[in-house]
Chain A
Amino acid sequence: MVKRIYALMIKEFLALMKDKRSRIVVIIPPLVQLLVFGYAATFDLNHIPIAVYNEDAGPAARDLVARFTGSTNFQQVATLTGEAQIGPLVDSRRVLMVLHIGPQFSRELSAGRAGPVQVIVDGRNSNTAAILLGYVSTIAADYSADWIRRSGGAAGARLEVRAWFNPNLESRWFLVPGIVGLLTLLVTTLVTSLSVAREREQGTFDQLLVTPLRPVEILLGKALPGFIIGFVEMTAIVLIATLWFHVPLRGEVATLYVGLFFFLFSSIGVGLMVSSLAVTQQQGLLGAFLFLVPSVMLSGFATPIANMPFWMQRLTLVNPMRYFLVIIRGVFLQGTPFHLLVGQFWPMAVIGLVNLTVAGFLFRRRLY
């Protein structure tokens, strides 16, 4: 049995790797994509183009403007002299924000009242706008605290913020481990989901069925190359994440690989299921897409699962990526120990088992 599986595995590897172009497609893109996406995927904004419209000549207003232009988050690209200039600048997306300080600002401040400041933000990308407004309120809070201190007021209570696991709140630390999961999923699904459909379309699957190989053995022979490629690729990607992007790896590497094993098991299960359902490669490709796209978007990769409506959160329970992201982020950033992650391992095992069983069943039954 082992010998037969081994032979089929070799055949699968040959089918995948003997063609130079196919070899390149499996190996190169994930590595390149990790590098590109690792740099692209960040929620931290820097050098946001802003325009300043300052109608007040006082030092208090100058100080406020300096706090904006001095921050690396903002970059002043225009100085306005009239209200009418604001519209076209924002419309054409040349600036994302306009800081408008009214002529009464200094006078109101020294009179002990609140100084009026207007901030106009382009809301076409509401996420960027929300992050931007967060920066604005931080600057405003600092400015207020300093002003109160200088004018001799009592501070009352003050807020001291500390972030565990990611002290500088770098979103890259959060997103790069996510990309590792993303690319691993992509590669294994690609490798497995078209493999049976291709044999069906070329007619070689019938030949495979009349060999002494049993459906279980065919299943294993088709699954193992995905496992091996997944492990190798993942190792390379994890090395890039830690050595190149300097994401801290605080937990046990062994825990990570146990998680990876179950993750590969479940995603290969889905891939083979899709493949056994598909009669043509186009259907296989469609199935792979229909699995990949929602799994990525609803995994908590970029937008937290907790923000989804309740029924949608329930739906994500069948998504293997969801569990793997908890594992990989936990191991990387929080050093989460093995026993706290058991609740993430077994759902993936169940998903994989169900899918592989269905796939094995379909291998025998679908012969057209």
Chain B
Amino acid sequence: MSAASRMRLRGLVRKEFCQILRDPSSIAIAFLMPVFLLLIFGYGISLDAEHVPIAVVVEQPDADTAGLAARFAGSRYFAPVFMHDMGEAEGELRAMRVNAIVHVQSDFASRLRRSDGAPIQLIVNGTDANTARLMIGYVQGVWQGWLGKRAMERGSRLGAPLAIDQRVWFNSELRSRNYLVPGLIAIIMTLIGALLTALVMAREWERGTMEALMVTPVTMGEVLLGKVLPYFLLGLGGMAVSVAMGLWLFGVPLMGSPWLLFAVSSLFLLAALGMGLLISTATRSQFLAGMVAIITTFLPAFLLSGFIFDIGSMPLLVQAITRILPARYFVASLQTLFLAGNVWSVILPNAAALAVFAAVFLGASRRMMRKRLD
């Protein structure tokens, strides 16, 4: 790079910084948004259901059913309401005041002694299928605990013939926060990266300052660099804030190396900024660029990145679509770096994909930025 080019670049970067300082929304995007979003989502997004309201209907209470009811009352997963009438409970379920009904019929005690066993009916509101499944699992746990205790009291063999020893690697307590926070950081950085740059080129076109830039000796490559550098620094600042919050506020462990995290984040930021610049260059209108940026970043990153829905379970065509999202590779890298460590077999392919995206987006923006007024 020649001395003149360096000087021009320095001028452009300085101009961009002045503009950033004048309209504080860029700084807000880079530093306040991660804090705000991580706070809200870190506390607000949880798949761990506790104190689920359920109705326990016992038509004829006796010693056996009292033991079962006590186990429901003692479980932290349930907030049971005890009733004697099934009709009343069904009304509560329909009005969505309870999520499930455990129904013990009046002939329970007599059928318990028979060989085919006595039925306990569980009716769940299946609208939210995921929560319903979790609830069924919890009820199964309560029920099996009760069976086991009952068997023990009678001195017979313990309930289940299978002893399953569950080992959950990397996140032994299944704290959903441990995996949600790295994923959230990836989503938040996707938003920030695109938001920072989506409007900058379109703004120059709309305000007519692009023409002013064209009559100066700066090359288009310098304009591009002059746009990327300041926002790259801002984005890294936002990333640092997010990681610091994840580590110290939410207590997520960082098993991998901080340097590797820095490298992967830089690659991702380049890809995200490149995408914003490409949108901005291609549309030349802030209104359009803003709409395209929102549509292409937020929902795809939220729903298709593997952050909340498992990519392997999607249809193949949709899986193929997820491959064109930089966020997908960043989510996988961050989850591995935070929870598992420097697993090269995961990090390398994902980092390579991010590098390709950065090159493609920045290259395409460079190609579309010509010194012409058409």
Give A contacts to B, CB under 8 Å: 19, 21-22, 25-26, 29, 33, 36-37, 39-49, 64, 88, 90-93, 96, 109, 112, 114-131, 133-134, 136-137, 140-141, 143-144, 147-148, 153-167, 169-171, 173-174, 182, 186, 190, 194, 198, 201, 280-286, 288-290, 292-294, 296-298, 302-304, 306-309, 312, 315, 329-330, 333-334, 340
Knowing that A119-B164, A125-B335, A285-B293 touch, tell me 18 more A-B residue pairs with CB under 8 angstroms. A25-B291, A114-B162, A116-B165, A123-B171, A125-B306, A126-B176, A129-B174, A154-B117, A162-B123, A163-B123, A173-B127, A182-B299, A201-B286, A281-B290, A289-B294, A293-B37, A308-B43, A308-B46
Among B10-18, B195-203, B233-241, B354-362, the stretch that binds chain A is B195-203
Task: Give Cα A19–Cα B40 distance, bound, in whole angstroms.
Answer: 37
On whether the beta carbons of A92 and B313 are closer than 8 Å, the reply is no
Which residues from chain A contact B134 at a C-beta distance below 8 Å?
130, 134
**CB nearest to A307 among chain B residues:** B46
On whether the beta carbons of B112 and A42 are closer than 8 Å, the reply is no
Map CB proximity to A onto B313-326 as digits: 1 under 8 Å, 0 otherwise.
Answer: 11101100110000
**Contacts A40-B304, A123-B169 given; does A115 touch B25 at CB 8 Å:** no
Of the residues B150, B291, B315, contact of A156 by C-beta under 8 Å: B150
A interface SS class: helix
**Contacts A156-B151, A160-B121 given; does A329 touch B127 at CB 8 Å:** yes
Q: Does B130 contact A (CB under 8 A)?
A: yes
On whether the beta carbons of A164 and B291 are closer than 8 Å, the reply is no
**Contacts A37-B299, A91-B345, A126-B174 given; does A280 touch B126 at CB 8 Å:** no
Among B117, B129, B132, B335, the most chain A Cβ lie within 10 Å of the Cβ of: B129
What are 11 A-B contacts defined by CB distance under 8 Å? A92-B346, A123-B174, A124-B335, A154-B117, A161-B122, A163-B124, A163-B126, A198-B287, A281-B286, A297-B45, A333-B127
Among B158, B175, B288, the most chain A Cβ lie within 10 Å of the Cβ of: B288
On whether the beta carbons of A163 and B132 are closer than 8 Å, the reply is yes
Of the residues B44, B48, B139, B293, contact of A312 by C-beta under 8 Å: B44
On whether the beta carbons of B343 and A292 are closer than 8 Å, the reply is no
What is the minimal beta-carbon distance from A186 to any residue of chain B, in angstroms? 7
Which residues from chain B contact A29 at a C-beta distance below 8 Å?
295
**Contacts A127-B308, A303-B47, A334-B94 given; does A159 touch B139 at CB 8 Å:** yes
Task: Give Cα A333–Cα B321 distance, bound, in whole angstroms.
Answer: 29
Task: Give Cα A31–Cα B332 distance, bound, in whole angstroms.
Answer: 28
Which residues from chain B contact A306 at a C-beta distance below 8 Å?
49, 52
What is the minimal beta-carbon distance from A207 to any residue of chain B, in angstroms? 18
Among B1-9, B26-34, B219-227, the stretch that binds chain A is B26-34
Task: Give Cα A60–Cα B272 distance, bound, in whole angstroms.
Answer: 53
Of the residues B136, B179, B206, contact of A126 by C-beta under 8 Å: B179
Task: Give Cα A76–Cα B326 distance, bound, in whole angstroms.
Answer: 29
Task: Give Cα A157–Cα B151 distance, bound, in whole angstroms.
Answer: 11
Task: Give Cα A171–Cα B313 distance, bound, in whole angstroms.
Answer: 12
What is the minimal beta-carbon distance from A99 to any residue of chain B, in angstroms? 10
Of the residues A22, A90, A164, contact of B125 by C-beta under 8 Å: A164
Give B contacts to A, CB under 8 Å: 23, 25-26, 28-29, 33, 36-37, 40-41, 43-50, 52, 93-96, 108, 112, 115-134, 136-137, 139-140, 143-144, 146-147, 150-151, 157-172, 174-176, 178-180, 191, 195, 198-199, 203, 206, 283, 285-288, 290-295, 298-300, 302-304, 306, 308-310, 312-315, 317-318, 321-322, 332, 335-336, 339-340, 343, 345-346
On whether the beta carbons of B129 and A43 are closer than 8 Å, the reply is yes
**CB nearest to A308 among chain B residues:** B44
Task: Give Cα A285–Cα B308 distance, bound, in whole angstroms.
Answer: 25
On whether the beta carbons of A92 and B127 are closer than 8 Å, the reply is no
What is the minimal beta-carbon distance from A236 to any residue of chain B, in angstroms? 16
On whether the beta carbons of A282 and B203 are closer than 8 Å, the reply is yes
**CB nearest to B146 among chain A residues:** A157
Task: Give Cα A309–Cα B44 distance, bound, in whole angstroms.
Answer: 7
Which residues from chain B contact A119 at a C-beta distance below 8 Å?
164-167
Which residues from chain A contact B171 at a C-beta distance below 8 Å?
123-124, 126, 129
Among all A-B residue pairs, the 10 with the closest Cβ atoms:
A166-B126, A163-B126, A123-B171, A155-B117, A114-B163, A92-B345, A123-B168, A171-B129, A285-B290, A43-B130
Which residues from chain B contact A164 at a C-beta distance below 8 Å?
93, 123-126
On whether the beta carbons of A130 and B47 are closer than 8 Å, the reply is yes
On whether the beta carbons of A157 and B298 are closer than 8 Å, the reply is no
On whether the beta carbons of B343 and A117 are closer than 8 Å, the reply is no
On whether the beta carbons of A22 and B345 are closer than 8 Å, the reply is no
On whether the beta carbons of A285 and B198 are closer than 8 Å, the reply is yes
On whether the beta carbons of B132 and A115 are closer than 8 Å, the reply is no
What is the minimal beta-carbon distance from B204 to any residue of chain A, in angstroms? 13
